[in-house]
Amino acid sequence: MSRSGFIGLAGRPNVGKSTLVNALVGSHVAIVSNRPQTTRRAIRGVFTDAEAGRQLVLVDLPGVQRPRDVLTARMQSRVERELADSDVALVVINGEQGVGPGDRFIARTLLAAKADLPMICAVNKADRVGPNELVPVLAEAAELEGVDEVFPISARSGEGLPPLLERLGELVPEGPFLYPPEDHSDQSSELLLAELIREQVLNRTRQEIPHSVEVSVQEVSAPRPDDGLVEVVAEIWAETESQKGILIGKRGAKIGEIGIAARRSLERELGHRVHLDLEVRVRRHWRRDEDLLDRLGIE
């Protein structure tokens, strides 16, 4: 009998949830940045071990936070809905920072939302601290309210991931696969490409820019029959003219840098050469626009 189910990843912003999802799935399905609140949607990565009859749908959620605008209110609401529908909760903690009040709040929130939800804790970045520093963090994680088991891991190196996967596979309920075994994500191609472009914006702009930026892919052509080239037309949205100027940069240097890096990411994803047409536009107060957020799929 096969097993399959949803694993909701919860944790403070920037603890490595997206890196962990990518590592477990074995594909780049969630963008990664050192900026907090990189993830805006509930991204589902699918890990399937057909031989063992296991499928894990890993839901990479936005970091738990207090809402400060319509965008972050929607993000927090999505966190709560997805966790309520999960079969297992995976709490991710930054091993370098240790257990803090935010981690305790998240564990209590999960327990209150669904008392019978199995809760596993992954202490990430375990490879960056020595044993003397790691052991107390593991002990504190084990004492978090509702946590059943703790796994020290490194999402970047892969250390500790096989036993974590094995345990998650044991905890999901019996049932048929939820997605075809060859699928790695439920995202549309356009959304994934937009996120890959936004990833490069996040990694190449100053602190005041990332939260104000969204990317919308307008068009993706079929590969040209003669040379396989794919044309991608996309817009980067900023909220003010000054932000637009920063994104473009002096004589177009910044947007050129973003475009080169984004094109390489798109080529790796699509397996074809890409011509990327990027335009920076000002969309004032887009984070407060309910209709626009609906169209962007930020529920």
Range of the domain at 274: 189-295
pTM over 0.75: no
Any idea what the CATH number is for the domain that residue 264 is in? 3.30.300.20
Number of structural domains, the chain?
2
Residues 149 and 253 in one domain: no
In a domain, 183, yes or no: no
Domain final residue, candidates 106, 136, 171: 171
Residue 14 and residue 53 share a domain: yes
What's the pLDDT tens digit per position in 140-151? 999 999 999 999
Q: pLDDT digits over 186-240, tens only?
A: 777 888 898 899 888 888 876 656 567 888 899 999 999 999 999 999 999 888 8
User: Exposed/middle/buried for 262, CB within 10 Å: 0-12, 13-18, 19+?
Assistant: buried
Residue 159 shares a structural domain with residue 193 = no
Token couple for 213: 């930026």
Q: What are phi and psi of 93, to 5 degrees?
A: -120, 145
The answer to whether residue 45 is domain-embedded is yes
49-63, 70-84, 90-104: least confident range: 70-84
Residue 167 and residue 122 in contact, taking contact as beta carbons nearer than 8 Å: no
Residue among 143, 134, 169 nearest 47 (CA):
169
Report whether 134 contacts 152 (CB < 8 A): yes
| Phi, psi at 174, each rounded to 5° | -70, 145
Both structure tokens of 136:
């107390």
